[in-house]
Structure 1
Amino acid sequence: MVSEPLVLGVDTSGSYCSAVLLQGGEVLSDVYQDMPKGQAEALFPLIQDLLVRGGATWRDLSAIGVGTGPGNFTGIRISVSAMRGLALALEVPVIGVTLLDALAHGTSGPVLGSIAAPRGQAYVQGHGMVQNVPPALVTISDLQLDLAEPGLVSIGSAGSEIAARLGVPHVPAPYAPGSAIARIAALRRGHDISPAAPFYLKPADAAPARDAPPVLLD
């Protein structure tokens, strides 16, 4: 049995699988795989391999952190539902972490985190900024230039475009998604938190079927 709390961090909210096994702040094993599709089938074998390489078993887990988005609708549902089911089976807490919080974890000073979205848009959130920038879906070309306060840096998959728009540096996030999620989950473990749930920030892109509905005969 492990002596320190063992935390699993998982994220499939983008076209990848990112997972980390964290114990007492030390990464025991980690994985990041580009994966545009097939995450549902790959997720549990990937975690099993992660545990084996970390010298642990499923029952050693003390908590599970999972990325809740914003991002790909299907990817978010896959990891959130899977990790909630796993946590229920193991009787451990599952802690939802937004990707915008994960991007900023380990930074100091003002940060504008971003996740690229279609049609020139991005999900953004400010951390440590003078102006309050809550989580939102924005058009990058519409961002107000007065957001560029002294010391501000831009982080995330839309970070270079936003940096060019605001005239601020673009820097990499300190941690991969799974690692940041595991670290935040470890900090939140033991606190009263709401169940992990998808964090979308926009409605689904699903459109109603174009075909006429079937006619019901009496």
Structure 2
Amino acid sequence: MLVLAIDTASVFCAVCLFNNNRILAEKCDNIGKRHAEYLIGQIATVIEKGQKSLTDIDHIGINIGPGSFTGERIGISVARGLALALDRPAIGISAFEALAFEAAEQYKNHPVSVVFEAYREKLYIQHFDIHNRKTCEPRVDTAERIIPELVPASVLTGSGAQKIAQITQHPVANTAPTASIATYAFLSTRKIFTETRPFQAPCPLYIRTMATGSRN
């Protein structure tokens, strides 16, 4: 199954062609906030390097966030546009899912807590069990409220992980704002084979604060 994976939710603009657990071509550049300038060109480059055409693609995988407000919407808009034009599904994968998967591969049989820097000293948080299943919905909260939830065996990952680990001494798998582009490709492919409900067009991941329920 040939996948075009896209991630524009951070300062990186990443695209890859992925088939049968193998990267055929990829491009990942730190472009700041210039995703709108670079994304279409990166897709064209990856398609050419992979010696494929857009019509060969079976589905599109896209990082739906959390991340850059503008960046993730650019990627999602392009993914949805391609999906419509090609009559292929676009599959949204959150950065929580992707980083939790990578951490679980690195630290077998450990629960994982994915932590991203948010705003005004707050953090985005989502917990996963030892089987890499989510145990809560993602939310915005403070470090002080997150720390008591962590079990001793937890592994932290994400751009906000070090902020927690320097207090709790939990191991940190990764401090990046996003996962490998190949991980989004792999997880979107897995979802194709395991999801029983019809796929909805991907949308940016909105996260509610625990205290007020307001959207972010």
TM-score, normalisation: structure 2? 0.84
Identity of aligned residues (%): 29
Counterpart Cα distance in 2 of 1:173 and 1:88: 35
Unaligned stretches of 5+ residues in structure 2: 209-213
Q: Does 1:185 align with 2:191?
A: no
In 2, the alpha carbon distance for the partners of 1:189 and 1:68 equals 16
Instruction: Work out which of the residue numbers 4, 7, 17 in structure 1 matches 2:13.
Output: 17
127-136 or 89-98, which moves further after superposition? 127-136
CA distance in 2, matches of 1:92, 1:157: 32
Question: How has the CA–CA distance of structure 1 residues 77 and 204 changed in structure 2, closer, same or farther, with 3 Å as cutoff?
Answer: farther
Paired amino acid for 1:179: A
Tell me the residue number matched to 1:127. 128
Q: Equivalent residues in 2 for 1:1-218 (5 A)?
A: 5-106=1-102, 107=104, 108=108, 109-128=110-129, 132-145=135-148, 147-172=149-174, 176-189=179-192, 191=195, 192-201=198-207
Does the CA contact (< 8 Å) of 1:99 and 1:177 recur in 2?
A: no
Q: CA RMSD, aligned part only?
A: 2.4
Q: Which has the higher helix share?
A: 2
Q: CA deviation at 1:119?
A: 2.0
One-letter identity of the residue aligned with 2:86? L
Aligned counterparts of 1:11 and 1:38: Cα–Cα separation in 2: 13
2 CA distance for matches of 1:95 and 1:131? 18
Query: How many matched pairs?
Result: 200
Matched position secondary structure for 1:36: coil
In structure 1, how many angstroms separate the alpha carbons of the residues matched to 2:164 and 2:28? 25
Give me the TM-score of the superposition, normalised by structure 1. Answer: 0.83
Larger Rg: 1
Contiguous gaps of at least 5 residues in structure 1: 206-218
